[in-house]
Chain A
Amino acid sequence: MNKKTFFPKVAFDMFTMQMVWSLYFLGSLLAVHIMMVVLAVNINDSIGDFLFFSHGSAKIYMLVIGIISTYGFLTHFAHHGVTRKDYFKGAFIAAIGVALAIAVIAAAVTGIEYVMIEMTGTQDVLERSLSAVDITSNSISVELPDIIFQSSVLLHGTNWVASLFLFSLNVLTYFAAGWLIGSGFYRFGWVIGLGFIVLSLLFMVTGDLIWGIELGEPLSNWLPFSSISLPFYVSFLYNLIMIGVMLVLIRLAIRHTPIKM
């Protein structure tokens, strides 16, 4: 009767609940994408494939579910007698699951997309290499790490596992950034909470920079450079350390936090 730990249950429950949201999110994103493809075909223009299209939005989506995680779930689980520690572990495992699942679903949809495009003979509508895509656009939703785009998922086959993994790592970073903001507010209220926003922005911006994503306005104005190129493993290592640091800060913030009633 005396279970010592509940985090696997928390992870499963949070994953299930967040996947329901995620399917709604991906569904609406797909609807918009289909409309854009149809439009592009009709005006003889071209756009990025679904994986490319969903990457930017998925980051923002993960940022949002990260922000609401502590408010939405910590009180809920405390109500069920779950420790803050079990919530923390469970929430992170669930987030890894969601990040991977979104990447896999987006890739699968993209695969289907290529088959359909092939069948309808409208190949020209999808851009297949990063260089051809207009990255000078200000929209944050069209930015993608070079490394993902250059591998051109499912086209050049060889690197697609790495691409999926990087897609996941990237959106997971945004989840952690959101979670840090939410936890900061939960624990310290809005004044110090604002400090957590600045901190999170810093993590997000440097995270994008190390993967060679060019920053649109206005963030690039803050920095003396707009992008940097690093060897793959350096970027990868930096990203892991960054997530680690954010997790430590989140844990410190909520470790002894009073539960909001």
Chain B
Amino acid sequence: MTFDIEIKNLSLYYRQFTALNDISLNLESGRIYGLLGRNGAGKTSLLTLLATFRKVKKGSIQIDGEDPFENAAVMQHIAFHYEADYSELTENIKDMLNSAERYRPYFDRDYAHYLADRFKLPLKKPIKKLSRGMQSAFEVTLGLASRTPLTIFDETYLGMDAPAREIFYRELLEDQASHPRTIILSTHLVSEMDYLFDDVIILDQGRIILHEDYETLVSKGASITGAAEEVDAFVTGMTKLNEQELGNTKAVMVYGELADARRTEAQRKGLEVGPISLQDLFIYLTSEEARYE
């Protein structure tokens, strides 16, 4: 099973509101996708369709060449993790892991217990009594240990504190190396998660405005650091995404590929040329100015 995903001309409307507008996208199996978008951009809408939580009415989604909706052979391999409401759930973590094991063919019980231990999750406590951060940690534990060929995390990690998120990122990369699957991470915590992504998809107002692999993407701009006057002179005429000043040193993020000649010129002037941050690029691409360019 390759589990490649093909999305064609997908649209979704809630009454008059257009949540997704003619989206076409191919997702290759075994990669980690970062799905970025501002609030209300349509991230969750897209993910609910992919997860078959909602039926596609316009356009199509094919997973491994099949329509996944109500297709048991495909659906057992798709997991959708979001900040679920567990305020009524009296089961404890152990029960829930056991239940996941019954329905997920690749579930790894030892790994689940290892993760629960890493997150210091109490196995016997009713889930509704756990803090929000603990519930999130439980959700990502379930998501990683199920090892579903398509694993979707929709901002599951927002409730977790920084150390717990750090553990999640590390475990995600490690387990992905030994058990590759397609992972979609939807987030707006761009700056701390960017290194996880193989590919980046940016959604804005229901449209895909960018789908590129991470390396190519960050080469689409540059950060120029050096003496303030030199930097200012160098970036005149370029699209500035962000600038920071400390004493006489200035760092400016510019958008647009930097030709080799320009790089040499920068070096000659004593300026440091670095990669652009995805965060700055994301903010720029989804800003009002960029929309009308």
What residues of chain A have their CB less than 8 Å away from a CB belonging to chain B? 1-6, 9, 13, 77-86, 256, 258-259, 261
Contacts and interface: CB of A to CB of B under 8 A. Distances in A.
* Listed residue (A5, A80, A86) with the most chain B CB atoms within 10 angstroms of its CB: A80
B72 A5 contact: yes
Contacts of A261: 48, 53, 82, 84
Nearest to A259: B53
Contact of B148 (A81, A85, A259): A81
8 contacts: A1-B106, A6-B103, A9-B102, A13-B99, A78-B53, A80-B100, A81-B77, A83-B70
Contacts of B78: 81
A4 B72 contact: yes
Contacts of B104: 80-81
Interface string B49-73: 0000111000000000000001111
A261 B48 CA distance: 9
B36 interface: no
B76 interface: yes
A13 B79 contact: no
Interface string B230-267: 00000000000000000000000000000000000000
B105 interface: yes
A187 to B, nearest CB: 12
Interface residues of A, dominant DSSP: loop
Given A256-B55, A261-B48, A261-B53, A79 B73 contact: no
A84 B55 CA distance: 12
Given A85-B70, A259-B54, A13 B102 contact: yes
Nearest to B73: A2
Contacts of B55: 256, 258
Contacts of B100: 80
Contacts, number: 62
B139 to A, nearest CB: 10
Contacts of A256: 55, 70
B273 interface: no
Contacts of B73: 2-4
A258 B48 contact: yes
A67 to B, nearest CB: 15
Contacts of B79: 81
Listed from nearest, the 8 A-B pairs whose CB atoms lie closest are: A80-B103, A259-B53, A81-B76, A258-B54, A1-B105, A81-B75, A256-B55, A83-B70
Nearest to B82: A261
A36 B293 CA distance: 80
A261 B84 CA distance: 7
Contacts of A78: 53
B212 to A, nearest CB: 29
B197 interface: no
Given A81-B76, A82-B75, A83-B71, 5 more contacts: A85-B72, A86-B72, A256-B55, A258-B55, A261-B84
Interface string B75-111: 1111110101000000000000001101111100000
Interface string B146-181: 001000000000000000000000000000000000
B275 to A, nearest CB: 37
Nearest to B102: A9
A78 B54 CA distance: 11
A58 B83 CA distance: 36
A258 B53 contact: yes
Given A78-B53, A81-B104, A256-B55, A6 B70 contact: no
A201 B106 CA distance: 45
A6 B76 CA distance: 9
Nearest to B70: A83
Given A81-B148, A261-B82, A3 B76 contact: yes
A83 B77 CA distance: 12
A3 B102 CA distance: 12
Contacts of A259: 48, 53-54
A192 to B, nearest CB: 16
Interface in B200-236: none
A1 B105 CA distance: 6
Contacts of A2: 1, 73, 76, 105
Given A13-B102, A78-B53, A258-B54, A84 B76 contact: no
A16 B279 CA distance: 49
A9 B72 contact: no
Contact of B103 (A1, A4, A82): A82
